Amino acid sequence: MSKIHAVITGIGGFVPEYILNNQELSTMMDTSDEWITTRVGIKERRILKEPNTGTSYMAAKAGEELFTKTGTKAEEIDLIIMATTTPDHVFPSCASMTAERLGIKNSLAFDIQAACAGFIVALQTAASFIESGKYKKVLVFGAEKMSSITNYNDRTTAPLFGDGAGVVLVEPTTEELGVMDSLLYTDGIGAKHLILRAGGSANPASAETVNTADHYVYQEGQAVFKHAVTNMAGASGDLMDKNGLKGEDIAWLVPHQANLRIIDAVVNRTGVDYDKVVINIDHFGNTSAASIPLGMWEAQNKFKKGDNIILTAFGAGFNWGALWLKWGY
């Protein structure tokens, strides 16, 4: 019997209309376009401004586009996996709220929280469900409203983050396409370096946590940068070595968009040509779990069936890894 692979058969994306550029940020805090661009490579980011809307709103917009492009109907979906750090609420899951927006009534739906590495974890999880033979049409989302947890009084983190959502449709195939292999890791020692310090069960919301701005992203930038450079590059290179892949074998590298210098380290380790690297950090910023699916969404017309694509990410936890897939169409 032929092995079942999990292949991407469609993609959708959404970013808000509002553009927050570096010039506007410089009127809000002590920063400049030159300072931001030099350090992280970001020129602008998208911000969701619609009142009373959250991550599920953007995810549903991406899902609607995917449905239109692929002709998929809501009743065909049997599983939804949502990678997000910014769900609409602590509960119910953002996946369930997105399902409601899309009219999906007969699927299992749940969230995965692996921060910026969430999408590749969710995609590998979806592949395992598909390979079991139990699920046939799976939506995998990476979606974030990072502006909701960004402190616009903190010049070290405010320039980094943007909002957006991407989604892929994953289905079974017996062709040598789809998710081929992955290396995924966690080291909890990194928790203290990148964290939302309040609002959970250990430090519930209070007047004090609001006053001390503990409901926003806290990041020790140098520690995070050091681990991200080492681990994203290492996981990508190790995955390629494990599968006998060289730089020239890779059609596209789609890295998490946190910092151009981190991406440079991945390129140096893998040997992939820089013109084969998907980059959107300059105009979307760091959209956390949404960055990789948004990158694929923007580059999809360049992808060809059978292309070897490496996805790699690093995020809070620390969580990191790399995934090798062959493009499905």
Helix axes 221-242, 260-270, angle to 10 degrees: 20
- The structural architecture, per CATH, of the domain 5-176 is 3-Layer(aba) Sandwich (3.40)
CB count within 10 Å of CB 275 equals 5
The order of strands in the sheet holding 308-315 is 178-186, 319-326, 308-315, 252-255
Q: Domain boundaries in the chain?
A: 5-176, 180-326
Contact 308, 166 (CB under 8 A): no
Buried b (16+ CB within 10 A) or exposed e, 227-246: bbbebbbbbbbebbeeeebe
Q: Which of 149, 137, 228 is nearest to 195 (CA)?
A: 149
> Which of 5, 193, 227, 256 is labelled catalytic?
256
Strand partners, 83: 112, 142
Q: Which residue has the tokens 């956390």?
A: 288
> Which of 22, 94, 116, 227 is labelled catalytic?
116
Strand partners, 10: 169
CA distance 104 to 257: 31
How high is the pLDDT of residue 1? Answer: 67
Give the chain as a 3 state SS string. CCCCEEEEEEEEEECCCEEEEHHHHHHHCCCCHHHHHHHHCCCEEEECCCCCCCHHHHHHHHHHHHHHHHCCCHHHCCEEEEECCCCCCCCCCHHHHHHHHHCCCCCEEEEECCHHHHHHHHHHHHHHHHHCCCCCCEEEEEEEEHHHHCCCCCCCCCCCECEEEEEEEEEEECCCCEEEEEEEEECHHHHHHEEECCCCCCCCCCHHHHHCCCCCEEECHHHHHHHHHHHHHHHHHHHHHHCCCCHHHCCEEEECCCCHHHHHHHHHHHCCCHHHECCCHHHHCECHHHHHHHHHHHHHHHCCCCCEEEEEEEECCCEEEEEEEECCC
How high is the pLDDT of residue 243? Answer: 98
Strand partners, 20: 45
How high is the pLDDT of residue 2? Answer: 87
| Length of the chain in terms of residues written | 329
Is 215 in the active site? Answer: no
* 89 backbone φψ class: left, alpha, beta (φ>0; ψ -120 to 50): beta
Q: Which residue has the tokens 């923007």?
A: 298
Q: Which of 114, 125, 146 is nearest to 81 (CA)?
A: 125
Is 256 in the active site? Answer: yes
* 317 backbone φψ class: left, alpha, beta (φ>0; ψ -120 to 50): left
CA distance 329 to 318: 33
- Fold classification of 180-326 is Peroxisomal Thiolase; Chain A, domain 1 (3.40.47)
Is 151 in the active site? Answer: no
Same fold, 5-176 and 180-326: yes
CB count within 10 Å of CB 110 equals 14
Query: What string of pLDDT tens digits covers the 329 residues of the chain?
Result: 689 999 999 999 999 999 999 999 999 999 999 999 999 999 999 999 999 999 999 999 999 999 999 999 999 999 999 999 999 999 999 999 999 999 999 999 999 999 999 999 999 999 999 999 999 999 999 999 999 999 999 999 999 999 999 999 999 999 999 999 999 999 999 999 999 999 999 999 999 999 999 999 999 999 999 999 999 999 999 999 999 999 999 999 999 999 999 999 999 999 999 999 999 999 999 999 999 999 999 999 999 999 999 999 999 999 999 999 999 99
